[in-house]
Structure 1
Amino acid sequence: MSDVVETTPARRSIGATRNPDSEAAILAAAEAVLLESGLNGFSIEAVAKRARAGKPTIYRWWPSQAALLLDVYHSRKRVNFIYPDTGTIRGDLRAYLSGLLTTWREGTSGEVFRCVVAKAQAEPAALAALSAYMSDRRCQSGKIIEKAQARGEVRADVKPELITELLSSFAWGRLLTERLDVPEDEIDAIVDTVLSGIALKPVA
């Protein structure tokens, strides 16, 4: 830990409402502790010490380690990942899958997310937090299909969330086995295979 961190006064909590500066400091500290110490060395105590924040504040804002790690992950993903709107379903799905793989491959978000998934295998609270987070993400990504249905590119009976979950599940498999360098032709093949089953007409 640097001298600057050690001599910085502890940040003051303002109760249940999150102080933006304190929130940013805690998220940064959580990411640093995870990457330096690994999942086994990660603890709220270590995060609080590094962030110069109180443990009660952290637990008030994040009820579990998994909830905190998911916020770390989402804060990093939000910076690097934008849901695409290219004007065509093929372009959108391709950009979605490619963007997800790139986001996990570059920076720290992939490693953070792997840790969240690992915790969810053994901790019910972590599994609940991950499940809730992924439900929200499926809803958001499903809008890609909804827009395509509105444009007349995708059949009306197709369930939007299931289609983007197919693509994200492929990305999950590559993330968990550290095979995120997916060639462009494989991304094209995956997207085209999905489109062959849902498109109203041939997609160029």
Structure 2
Amino acid sequence: MKARGRKPDPTVDARIKEAAVMLLAAKGPSFTMDELASAAGVGRASVFRRYATKRDMLLDALTLALNAQVPETPDTGSLEGDLMVIVTQTLAGWNTPEFAKTTREVFGEAARDPGVAEVIRTAMRDKRRSDWAIFERAIDRGELSPDTDLWLLADMVVGLVVYRGLIDVPQPDPASMVRALLHGFAR
């Protein structure tokens, strides 16, 4: 007996995921499943076979987008140099109007949807943990105290940038930010 129907196109999953990430970057979480189907060049039914709801699709696209954005952990030979790379990379995204707008929308969605919040929290935690390598090297070189709170330091690296980005105020100069992180504001 012959099988009925067509063979599944193995590229459909990849096209749908790629289109979802592209639309998320371009439009934020407000795009529709019909727009996704059109961007992927597939029928609406193909999208709904993979994602029962828009939320399922959004969570998958957000996870893919955040995992794709993780730059390599720098190793310049100094804590100051490594922090300059991380701060400059972080600021570059927020200084791009499209990225900033989309990120504010996604963070707004996170306030309404615990699943979105968890995807963001996990991606940020994983990125900060990968940055620990620069702090551990700095401890080994004597640039940081062995009892440095690595979570606090990692949060301080990105926290100010995210905060300013969310409320849409000018970002700091990378060198000024790194200087403040390393030396504070005391005389």
Counterparts of 1:70 and 1:108 in 2: how far apart (Å)?
Answer: 19
TM-score, structure 1 as length reference: 0.69
Contact kept? 2:161, 2:171, Cα under 8 Å: no
TM-score, structure 2 as length reference: 0.74
- 1:140 is matched with 130
Greater helix fraction, Structure 1 or Structure 2 = 2
Counterparts of 1:37 and 1:102 in 2: how far apart (Å)?
Answer: 19
The 1:107–1:157 alpha-carbon spacing in structure 2 relative to 1, beyond 3 Å, is same
Contact kept? 1:48, 1:54, Cα under 8 Å: yes
The 1:111–1:37 alpha-carbon spacing in structure 2 relative to 1, beyond 3 Å, is closer
User: Residues 163-196 of structure 1, C-alpha deviation per residue, up to 9 Å, x if partnerless?
Assistant: 121010011022213345533xxx3232222223
Counterparts of 1:89 and 1:37 in 2: how far apart (Å)?
Answer: 37
**Match of residue 62, structure 2, among 59, 69, 77:** 69
Task: Give ranges in structure 2 of 5+ residues lacking alignment.
Answer: 1-7
State the shift of 1:27 in Å: 4.0
- 2:23 is matched with 33
Size of the aligned set, in residue pairs, is: 173
Task: Give ranges in structure 1 of 5+ residues lacking alignment.
Answer: 1-10, 14-18, 198-204
- Structure 1 moving runs of 4+ over 6 Å: none
- 1:153 is matched with 143
Paired residue secondary structure (2:61):
helix
Larger radius of gyration: 2
Please give the root-mean-square deviation of Cα atoms over the aligned residues, in Å. 3.1
State the shift of 1:108 in Å: 4.8
Contact kept? 1:84, 1:95, Cα under 8 Å: yes
Contact kept? 1:101, 1:180, Cα under 8 Å: no
RCO greater where, 1 or 2, for CA within 8 Å and sep 6 or more? 2
The 1:111–1:63 alpha-carbon spacing in structure 2 relative to 1, beyond 3 Å, is same
Counterparts of 1:159 and 1:64 in 2: how far apart (Å)?
Answer: 36
